[in-house]
Amino acid sequence: MSNERTELQIVRQQLAEAHATLDAIRRGEVDAVMVHDGDRSEVFTLESADLPYREFLEQMGEGAVSLDDRGTVLYCNRFVCDLLSITREDLIGLRLSSLLDAPSVPAFEQALVSASRSELVGVLTACSGSSVPVSLSVTPVIGRPRINVVVSDQRIRRSLQNVSAERDAAEAASSAKDRFLAVLGHELRNPLAALSSSVEVLARGRLEGEQRDAVYASMSRQLGQLRMLVDDLLDLSRIAEGKIVLKKAVFPIAELVQHATEQVAGLIESRGHTLVAEAIPGDLRIEADRTRVEQLIVNLLSNAAKYTPPGGRIELAVRPVQGALHVMVRDNGIGLAPADQQRIFEAFAQVAEGTDGLGIGLALVRQLAELHGGRVRAESEGRGRGATFWLELPIGDIAHAPAAGAPARLPLPKDLRVLVVDDNEDAATMLSMLLETEGVQSEAVHRGAEVLPAVERVRPQLLLLDLGLPDISGYEVAERLRQAGHGELMIVALTGFSHDSARARVRAAGFDAHAVKPLSITQLRQLLETAGGRVRR
């Protein structure tokens, strides 16, 4: 009788547990039932009234996993199954830690017993054997033996971060382009406005003596600024494309520095600055590209003059230091914040509001210095404390490299004749007039068809030929002249194109030289001297 009573109590207890389980299921508190049969366990999932939430979880772009307090998978959404190439039936009932890489397991096990949310990264192994980098957000369910885990595919996150970074970079580049175009317009209008006013003043013809000289000096200064602006823009583009080749030779640095200071003298004087240049030993030489080194120093001095308030002081020193040439340019201008002392050498960087400049001069300095195997750096104690720029260039093998000496100038032959060909009539006329001031005979024509008759009539020793003529290209004109027997004529391509392919095409067409517009007086005299040397022979 007692045994029957005991069995009845057990049945009642089991019924009570069954009723409690059914009540829990009705309340939506049970998602799955685990049935133990000896050593084997099987999990049965239940679909309750939270179907809309399950549908939401199934459509998530991240993985959702529900675990019991031992880390056994009770539920997982489709994303997790696809991520691990596994069916839901095979994943449910597994310990999630069994799929994690060994180094990540201790942190994951600690997260399972933590009372607060934990974030960790690890690697899950898919059924295919591939490794999937993931981040896991482990959140305990308060009051229930349940843990929810959000699984994020790090590859997708990184891809989104890359897309976001690329978008941000594109937006920044677009903003930089807009700022650049706005500043470029400003930089172009300033010298053009001064030149326009100068032309108007000259047109009235009432200037004499010092006033006329002042107008000419202003025009020369503004034209120099325009030329340097265009040259810097083109050089920056050529360096980016790897199209600049250094033409190294040995030369004395003192003469080059003097020439560089002469180029910026007008800018320094116009702003009322004082330039203090340390004496340079006359025998100090360097093996480098003379034109580019001069450009480096000019850009550093121009930068100092531009960013120093009127009446400032600029110091220049050039010294040999342990096999390198150190150029120092110091000013007492607006200075640099610590964060700007590297950024200032980036293309189009603007480090001070309300200042002029395209942000290309110092970027060009850095890149040209690096092409020489050197470097440039900036130092400043902060805004308003001035700045010091250090340019370091290797001196090179000055003992064995050929020296670039300046040949003595010989007087030009009195019968030297030059023919100028340019469809821009103003440019051709002005260049022809400039040639006559150098003591040579000059004539100008404006179309390709006019060149051969003019050469037959004038018999020039030098032909300055524009390539972009309206009827016949300059290339074809040069080829026709050579075919007509004018092999002794020195033909120089006068063009705005300076890239290597243009130079190669010029050589192939039979030109003797390639000159980029606008010609400086120094370049023009060099061409005249070369042509004059041919006449003397």
CATH number of the domain enclosing 147: 3.30.450.20
Do strands 387-394 and 324-331 pair parallel, antiparallel, or not at all (unpaired)?
antiparallel
Q: CA-CA distance, 158 to 168, in Å (whole number)?
A: 15
Q: CA-CA distance, 454 to 428, in Å (whole number)?
A: 14
Asked if residue 523 belongs to a domain, the reply is: yes
The per-residue pLDDT for 491 is 94
The per-residue pLDDT for 143 is 80
Is residue 377 domain-shared with residue 265, that is, in the same domain?
Answer: yes
By residue range, what is the domain housing residue 187? 172-238
Those residues whose C-beta lies under 8 Å from the C-beta of residue 170, and which sit 6 or more positions away, are none
The per-residue pLDDT for 398 is 64
Instruction: Report which secondary-structure segment, H or E, holds 492.
Output: strand 490-495
Those residues whose C-beta lies under 8 Å from the C-beta of residue 316, and which sit 6 or more positions away, are 257, 261, 275, 276, 277, 278, 297, 301, 327, 328, 329
Last residue of a domain, one of 238, 269, 288: 238
Those residues whose C-beta lies under 8 Å from the C-beta of residue 438, and which sit 6 or more positions away, are 412, 524, 525, 528
Comparing CA positions, the residue from 295, 234, 266 lying closest to residue 502 is: 234
Last residue of a domain, one of 171, 200, 225: 171
Is residue 177 domain-shared with residue 158, that is, in the same domain?
Answer: no
* pLDDT averaged over 10-residue windows placed end to end, the chain, 537 residues: 66 72 64 64 58 74 89 91 91 92 91 88 89 91 87 84 80 71 67 78 77 81 78 72 78 90 87 92 88 90 92 94 92 91 79 62 88 93 92 77 51 84 88 88 92 93 91 92 91 79 83 84 85 71
The per-residue pLDDT for 462 is 93
| Residues constituting the chain | 537
The per-residue pLDDT for 41 is 63
Q: In what order do the strands lie in the sheet with 118-125?
A: 73-76, 63-68, 146-153, 131-141, 118-125
Asked if residue 178 belongs to a domain, the reply is: yes
Is residue 284 domain-shared with residue 268, that is, in the same domain?
Answer: yes
CATH (domain of 299): 3.30.565.10
Asked if residue 411 belongs to a domain, the reply is: no
Those residues whose C-beta lies under 8 Å from the C-beta of residue 389, and which sit 6 or more positions away, are 300, 303, 304, 328, 329, 330, 376, 377, 378, 379
Comparing CA positions, the residue from 504, 40, 499, 492 lying closest to residue 242 is: 499
Is residue 120 domain-shared with residue 217, that is, in the same domain?
Answer: no
Cβ atoms of 491 and 459 closer than 8 Å: no
Asked if residue 410 belongs to a domain, the reply is: no
Strand, helix or coil at 6? helix
Q: Which two tokens stand for residue 88?
A: 């839901």
Asked if residue 402 belongs to a domain, the reply is: no
Token pair 């994020």: residue:
152
The single-letter DSSP state of residue 96 is G
Alpha helices in 344-499 (DSSP H): 361-371, 425-437, 451-458, 474-483
CATH (domain of 192): 1.10.287
Comparing CA positions, the residue from 155, 148, 153 lying closest to residue 64 is: 148
The per-residue pLDDT for 421 is 93
Q: Which two tokens stand for residue 133?
A: 């980098």
Is residue 485 domain-shared with residue 515, that is, in the same domain?
Answer: yes
Is the whole-model pTM more than 0.85? no
Q: CA-CA distance, 518 to 226, in Å (whole number)?
A: 11
The single-letter DSSP state of residue 512 is S
Q: Which long-range contacts (CB under 8 A, 24 or more apart) does 233-237 make?
A: 233/358, 233/360, 234/498, 235/295, 235/364, 235/368, 236/347, 236/360, 236/363, 236/364, 236/367
Is residue 208 domain-shared with residue 268, that is, in the same domain?
Answer: no
Is residue 260 domain-shared with residue 383, that is, in the same domain?
Answer: yes
CB atoms closer than 10 angstroms to residue 412: 18
Is residue 457 domain-shared with residue 345, that is, in the same domain?
Answer: no
Query: How many domains, the chain?
Result: 5
Is residue 290 domain-shared with residue 377, that is, in the same domain?
Answer: yes
Asked if residue 434 belongs to a domain, the reply is: yes
Is residue 109 domain-shared with residue 2, that is, in the same domain?
Answer: no
The per-residue pLDDT for 374 is 93
361 HSE (CA, 13 A, CB side) = 24
Asked if residue 301 belongs to a domain, the reply is: yes
CA 410 → CA 40, 413, 530, 531, 533, distances in Å? 107, 9, 10, 12, 9
Strand, helix or coil at 367? helix
Greatest Cα-to-Cα distance within the chain, rounded to the nearest angstrom: 146
Q: CA-CA distance, 483 to 61, in Å (whole number)?
A: 73
Is residue 158 domain-shared with residue 231, that is, in the same domain?
Answer: no
Asked if residue 408 belongs to a domain, the reply is: no
Cβ atoms of 125 and 131 closer than 8 Å: yes
Strand, helix or coil at 102? helix
Last residue of a domain, one of 394, 427, 456: 394
The per-residue pLDDT for 454 is 93
The per-residue pLDDT for 401 is 45
Cβ atoms of 534 and 488 closer than 8 Å: yes
Is residue 430 domain-shared with residue 389, that is, in the same domain?
Answer: no
